[in-house]
Structure 1
Amino acid sequence: MWQRLLMIVVLAGPAWVGVAAAQDRAPRIELVGVVPKNSAEQFELAFWETIKDSNQASDYEAYLKQYPKGRFAALAQARLARLRAAQPAAATPTPKPPPPVVHEAVPKPPPPAKTTAPAPAPAAAATPAHTVAAGTDIKDCPACPTLVSIPGGTYTMGNNTSDPSEKPAHAVTVGPFAIGRYEVSVQEWNACAAAGACQKIAQRPNTSPTAPMRDVSWDDAQQYVKWLATVSGKPYRLPTEAEWERAARGGTATRYWWGEQMTQGKANCKECGKPWAEDAPANVGSFAANPYGVYDTSGGVWEWVADCWHNNFKGAPADGRAWDESDCRVRVIRGGSWREGAPYMVASTRFKYDASVRHSQNGFRVARSLK
């Protein structure tokens, strides 16, 4: 499915890719044949393709952090300088503050932000984990995202007719677990920031509290799940890649959870139906849930998972655990975003980013075990 990622095909002689503005020009690139889908070059080109028309400085900052010597670095630097120069002095982006977070005055947080210290789980969460029925809502603390319980079982992960990174399709057995019914929202993230446990990450003006939190790195997400574990007393974490796909498929084995063909209005993606806006993703829960009651696994924002990136599934664990490596800095993201088209909404779609990179299309949802 070559349309899934950027393709450059030569019809007659070498293909040249470049930007030819008089004072804002990227280097000319000569590519012969089809760019390998799983190559470093392809990933860089795919990254650039998603931000090339952006008017957000953070997108170019993310590119430069990921590819400081990339083929579009000069162009990204030029656009970044122009965007910064056009901003009012008060709005000039400030450097990322190093951890630990300095406690500063913040706007009045939403109600969940009142939980600023470890607190015991409410009585409703005291039910033994093994008795939680599939599809049950779980709310471990006032500030915690709502979880939905996913049944354990065996399913086929991956796709033999899609991108090489999704092969081979293989049987995976996962135990019962709980996953965020929605992607983590801006309001939920701000509760952690107000408690001083997460970085304060500025969002676009007029962003809804129920918009999916984005511009977060894998490292940022680790701060959030650590905080949730503290305030709830439960083992919060990012879902493993196998758990994520299990939840995203909703018990189905088709390309999309709703069937083999894209259906308008099922996902928050480009040309996939309303509601859709070019500048930002729809609020969480704006589209129908899948059969497991999980929302927004197709489109919205890309979602970080726990696993280290591997180029394919050869040798992948068969028991649903995270496939990790020592000193791994490149992590998996799943699900596509509102800026991609229908081919990215396939349940097996996967991609990668450096764990420290913040990108405007990347967010996450949380999970925990139910054993």
Structure 2
Amino acid sequence: MELVKINSGSFVMGSEEGEYDEKPVRKVNISNPFYMSSTPVTNVQYEQFDPHHRMLRGKRGLSSEDNEAVVYVSWYDAVAFTEWLSIKEGKPYRLPTEAEWEYACRAGTETLYNTGDSLPVIYHLNQRNVWYPKEVPLTVGKTPPNPWGLYNMHGLIEEWCLDWYGPYTGDDLTDPFAYHDSDFRVTRGGSHNTDPVFLRSANRMGMIPENKHFLTGFRVVQAEMPARLTVEREDVKKWAEQVIQSPSDWTSRVDMDEPYFSEPIYFQKIPSGSDGPLYSQHNHCPDITPLPNGDLFATWYTTVTEQGRELAVAASRLRSGADEWDEPDLFYKVPDRNMHATSILWDRSGDRIYHFQGMAVSYGWGDLALFMRTSEDNGLTWSKPHWINHEHGLRNMPIAGAFKTSEGAIIVPCDAVTGMEGGSAIHISTDDGITWNDPGAGTPRPEFDEGKTGGTIAGIHAGLVELKDGSLMALGRGNNINGYMPMSISEDMGRSWTYSASPFPPIGGGQRLVLMRLKEGPLFFASFTGLHDDEKRMEFTDKEGNKYTGYGLFVALSYDEGKTWPVRKLVTPGEGEFDGGAWTGEFVTDDARAEPRGYLAATQSPDNIIHLISSRLHYRFNLAWIEE
């Protein structure tokens, strides 16, 4: 392995023109020289340590030759290689710290790249945002080195660093290696099949350390392990401030025998002009759960574009007895990975809260892995990620509406495809989240027609409920049957589904339905009277028994396990003007006109109040109001 001596020195780390996590810039002193491998570690080098890795060569059409950069290695794999190499050669090897990596990459330059403020085409390997990678050669050392003799510092592959990921402080530092814990390890350098902006010298990325995929490998340094500085995190999130831990009896503030409907309030209140880590441009795809302490907790994604690598998960808390939601804050973000999407669930057999999360390799929501975290203290602190499916691919994008069956199985609905048609999948755990399976995985794409069967739910963004006989029923968006929203029934816990037409109108872009069981027994359904732009109306009956046609958001009840839905009610506060955010925007309501579209999620709290949220608004009502 060829090593290059990197002399001690100082540099300005970060970029004032870069992303929020590259600021504030600070002067960093590297006090000791070190040696860095001139190229990333190759397949032939790595496989001297781990011969079994050879079976991963060529996966997804990448890195099949001896002298190509090794990929599909976790942070722990990379560290194990350095430990093996240290023993083999009798010299101390390790991963570079983040500061060492940027110092060596810059090689005395202060521009966006060590080549200047642009990256010459000779360094490009399909440098654009893509959902799936184009096959490109990952041969090391083929492009010109930087001024200090290091190859492939911009692109080729991302490279693991030694550090836990954390926010910069404004202090000038010597040999920074600060944080003692995080959910992510730093990666640097960018890679093939990504936009050049992610290849800049200052750009910071990160990964869950167990994760491995086709973008990331590593290089080594020869140097003693640095001393760790102690830097305390000061970024306490608003949703984690002053969280009461005493259990609530959830005593209702309203008479539940009387109809109750409250004026909708905003749960998503990101200030205009926010540009990271929360974004004011697009907030969407929420979920909501009550907590044991009497609070409500909502999560959703926040981004500039739905495909972008900036997409993160935000959260807010409606505290017990409060009339307004807290200001939101960042909930979860693997740096520079699209986080499509999020779901949250309180297991009411105890105090555990589940957070289910999809995570892309980079851009878009096609190559997702799926993991979960848990909280035992009302969402104050959360566990490390636990994999549901670590293999990036389809069928891993969680949808709101996870639930626990009567037999104790946790079911997490997920989109099975990236587009508007193609259906939904489920992941099931029967041991409280320790192990998981997708019962429909590997089955062929079905024909979503009346009476047909298949291993995938008809329609994306499916709502799912357990029926009293133990079977599962789902309704979805798209894959319409005979002009109606499709219904899927499974009698074998999701291994196969039988398709039929539901009695409900189909919905489309910017709309998502809800299906759940109320504590009082009926099935509860929330959706829209039609596509947002077709002004399709449905017939409703007001509380005086008069029939009228209405438009927009409605709810329905079934008392016979989904066979009929005799109660249907428009969800409108009467005359009003609202901003639904996301794809909804501003809209006007009256007695016959409700919110036209939004991504719906719902829960029923222990006091029996139904909480229905769209992309920005929070509606509250009870069963008596629906039946009125």
- TM-score normalised to the size of structure 1? 0.55
Partner of 2:28: 172
Contact 1:238 1:367 in 2 (8 A): yes
State the SS of the aligned residue for 1:173: strand
Partner of 1:227: 84
Are residues 1:354 and 2:231 paired?
no
* Greater relative CO (CA pairs within 8 A, separation 6+): 1
Query: 1:87-98 alignment to 2 at 5 Å?
Result: none
Contact 2:144 2:151 in 1 (8 A): yes
Contact 1:269 1:299 in 2 (8 A): no
Contact 2:57 2:65 in 1 (8 A): no
- Distance verdict in 2 for CA 1:201–1:370, change over 3 Å: same
Post-superposition CA distance 1:79-107 (Å, at most 9, x none): xxxxxxxxxxxxxxxxxxxxxxxxxxxxx
Are residues 1:366 and 2:233 paired?
no
**Partner of residue 150 from structure 2, selected from 294, 299, 322:** 294
- Distance verdict in 2 for CA 1:317–1:354, change over 3 Å: farther
State the SS of the aligned residue for 1:348: coil
Letter in 2 for 1:253: E
Deviation at 1:268, TM superposition (A): 3.7
Q: In 2, Cα distance between the equivalents of 1:257 and 1:151? A: 17
Partner of 1:130: none
- Distance verdict in 2 for CA 1:355–1:370, change over 3 Å: closer
Query: 1:26-65 alignment to 2 at 5 Å?
Result: none
Query: 1:146-225 alignment to 2 at 5 Å?
Result: 146-174=2-30, 175-194=32-51, 202-204=56-58, 207-225=64-82
Q: Identity of counterpart residues, as a percentage?
A: 29
Letter in 2 for 1:361: L
Give structure 2 stretches of 5+ with no counterpart: 226-628
Partner of 1:314: 169
Q: In 2, Cα distance between the equivalents of 1:215 and 1:209? A: 15
Contact 1:201 1:215 in 2 (8 A): no
Deviation at 1:263, TM superposition (A): 2.0
Q: In 1, Cα distance between the equivalents of 2:124 and 2:14? A: 20
State the SS of the aligned residue for 1:248: helix
Q: In 1, Cα distance between the equivalents of 2:163 and 2:147? A: 25
Contact 1:304 1:363 in 2 (8 A): yes
Q: In 1, Cα distance between the equivalents of 2:55 and 2:36? A: 24
Q: In 2, Cα distance between the equivalents of 1:332 and 1:306? A: 7
Letter in 2 for 1:325: H
Deviation at 1:286, TM superposition (A): 1.4
Q: In 2, Cα distance between the equivalents of 1:267 and 1:253? A: 21
Contact 1:316 1:323 in 2 (8 A): no
Post-superposition CA distance 1:330-359 (Å, at most 9, x none): 100001110112211211111111111111
Letter in 2 for 1:179: M
Contact 2:25 2:170 in 1 (8 A): no
Partner of 1:11: none
Q: In 1, Cα distance between the equivalents of 2:92 and 2:136? A: 31
Letter in 2 for 1:240: T
Deviation at 1:280, TM superposition (A): 3.7
Post-superposition CA distance 1:311-344 (Å, at most 9, x none): x311677112422314x44100001110112211
State the SS of the aligned residue for 2:68: coil
Contact 1:269 1:342 in 2 (8 A): no
- Distance verdict in 2 for CA 1:190–1:173, change over 3 Å: same
Contact 2:10 2:27 in 1 (8 A): yes
User: After alignment, is 222-231 or 205-214 more displaced?
Assistant: 205-214
- Distance verdict in 2 for CA 1:269–1:238, change over 3 Å: farther
Deviation at 1:260, TM superposition (A): 1.3
RMSD, matched Cα? 2.3
Query: 1:212-361 alignment to 2 at 5 Å?
Result: 212-270=69-127, 278-310=134-166, 312-314=167-169, 318-326=173-181, 328-361=182-215
Over 4 Å off, 4+ runs = 198-201
- Distance verdict in 2 for CA 1:316–1:200, change over 3 Å: farther
Letter in 2 for 1:339: N
Deviation at 1:208, TM superposition (A): 1.0
Deviation at 1:183, TM superposition (A): 0.3
Post-superposition CA distance 1:207-258 (Å, at most 9, x none): 1100000011101101100000000111100000000001111211111101
Deviation at 1:293, TM superposition (A): 0.4
Q: In 2, Cα distance between the equivalents of 1:169 and 1:315? A: 7
Greater C-alpha radius of gyration:
2
Post-superposition CA distance 1:52-110 (Å, at most 9, x none): xxxxxxxxxxxxxxxxxxxxxxxxxxxxxxxxxxxxxxxxxxxxxxxxxxxxxxxxxxx
Contact 2:14 2:23 in 1 (8 A): yes
State the SS of the aligned residue for 2:91: coil
Letter in 1 for 2:193: R
State the SS of the aligned residue for 1:265: helix
- Distance verdict in 2 for CA 1:256–1:370, change over 3 Å: same
Letter in 2 for 1:293: G
Letter in 1 for 2:57: Q
Q: In 2, Cα distance between the equivalents of 1:345 and 1:334? A: 8
* Larger relative strand fraction: 2
Give structure 1 stretches of 5+ with no counterpart: 1-144
- Distance verdict in 2 for CA 1:280–1:366, change over 3 Å: same
Letter in 1 for 2:152: D
* Larger relative helix fraction: 1
State the SS of the aligned residue for 1:223: helix
State the SS of the aligned residue for 1:187: helix
Deviation at 1:269, TM superposition (A): 4.8
Contact 2:123 2:143 in 1 (8 A): yes
State the SS of the aligned residue for 2:173: coil
Letter in 1 for 2:186: V
Letter in 1 for 2:210: S
- Distance verdict in 2 for CA 1:168–1:271, change over 3 Å: same
Q: In 2, Cα distance between the equivalents of 1:148 and 1:291? A: 11
Q: In 2, Cα distance between the equivalents of 1:237 and 1:280? A: 28
Q: In 2, Cα distance between the equivalents of 1:151 and 1:295? A: 17
User: After alignment, is 210-219 or 312-321 more displaced?
Assistant: 312-321
